[in-house]
Amino acid sequence: MPYLKITHINHFEALNWLKYNKQGDAWYENFTKKHLLYFSKIWPQLKKFYKGKDNWLAAYIDTKIAGVYYYTIVENEIYDGYLTTDKQFSQFNLGLKLNTKLLEETKNKWSINWSLCFEKYLTYNEKLGFKIDSKTVFNKQTIYLLKR
């Protein structure tokens, strides 16, 4: 039986994993917080997160990283995103487990949680408790500002 562990990893490890495990989505291939600056022109509440400390949770199956989740906390608000898991481990529901761990670890540290997602991830994010705050079009795709 495989062993599941969720723990913090450093920014470099997370970026390296994303680079080689991008799951065919260019959005994840070159993680950068510059999207926060771009979208802060539309949603000014995101700008403060650009200078926030980078935090990453990683889900390990045995000794192999199988998923990562980014977050940063500024003042009493949190921005999270880039929840990415290796499809070969889908039976473990790693996205839900990473989200549960994030909520446990950051409990009482924020009152508003912001995130962004493309339409294809909207239903999943709604399962995590996010509601649509607003939306815009980015590279011919609808992108949603989410809040919980």
Q: Does residue 119 lie in a domain region?
A: no
Strands 77-85 and 112-118: parallel
Domain count, the chain: 1
Q: Does residue 43 belong to any structural domain of this protein? A: yes
Residues ≥6 apart with Cβ < 8 Å to 21: 65, 84, 86
Is 143 contained in some domain? no
Give me the CATH number covering residue 11.
Answer: 3.40.630.30
In a domain, 88, yes or no: yes
Residue 65 included in any domain: yes
Residue 42 — φ and ψ, nearest 5°? -95, -45
Asked if residue 91 belongs to a domain, the reply is yes
The pTM assigned to this predicted structure is 0.90
Please give the residue range of the domain that contains residue 30: 4-112
Per-residue pLDDT of the chain (148 residues; tens, 9 = 90+): 789 999 999 998 998 888 877 655 555 555 668 888 889 999 999 999 999 999 999 999 999 999 999 999 999 999 999 888 998 998 999 999 999 999 999 999 999 999 999 999 999 999 999 999 999 998 899 999 999 9
